[in-house]
């Protein structure tokens, strides 16, 4: 569906209410979403797009675009093929993406900018010594 649906949770009874949706072709084949500890950034991995996408929100605001996409080519090649899992570090400064086809976990540093989030590859590990 190339989208992320966003819901608000009622703090009293736990009920969910639809808030909005973000659509982007870079979200095709999404496997998993991870949200940073402050709840300001969400990262989604896509198996079909071989990429990781990020969206952000300002405190008290709705989730919004632009969706920032880092694909296999931008990540240095052979690091995001069939990306299946993503985790955010406790301080929100790094994300870790596992790619099943490449047998690799890639670490990205998260650089905050006024208008969004930028990702930059820092290191990759695999059982094949890459």
What's the pLDDT tens digit per position in 74-124? 556 666 777 889 999 998 888 898 888 777 888 888 866 544 445 554 444
Long-range Cβ pairs for the range 18-26 (8 Å, 24+): 19/62, 19/63, 20/62, 20/63, 22/55, 22/63, 22/64, 22/65, 22/67, 24/53, 24/65, 24/67, 24/69, 25/49, 26/2, 26/51, 26/53, 26/67, 26/69, 26/71
Q: All domains of the chain, ordered by start, with CATH? A: 3-126 (2.130.10.10)
pLDDT tens digits, one per residue of 13-32:
999 999 888 888 778 888 89
pLDDT digits (tens, 9 = 90+) for 38-76: 888 888 888 777 788 888 777 777 777 667 777 666 556
């Amino acid at each position: 569906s190339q989208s992320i649906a966003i819901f608000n949770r009622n703090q009293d009874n736990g009920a969910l209410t639809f808030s909005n949706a973000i659509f982007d072709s870079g979200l095709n084949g999404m496997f998993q979403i991870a949200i940073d500890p402050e709840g300001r950034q969400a990262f989604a991995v896509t198996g079909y797009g071989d990429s990781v996408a990020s969206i952000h929100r300002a405190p008290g605001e709705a989730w919004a675009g632009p969706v920032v996409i880092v694909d296999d080519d931008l990540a240095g090649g052979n690091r995001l093929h069939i990306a299946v899992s993503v985790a955010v570090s406790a301080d929100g400064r790094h994300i870790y993406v596992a790619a099943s086809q490449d047998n690799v976990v890639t670490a990205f540093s998260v650089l905050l900018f006024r208008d969004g989030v930028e990702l930059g590859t820092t290191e990759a590990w695999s059982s094949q010594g890459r």
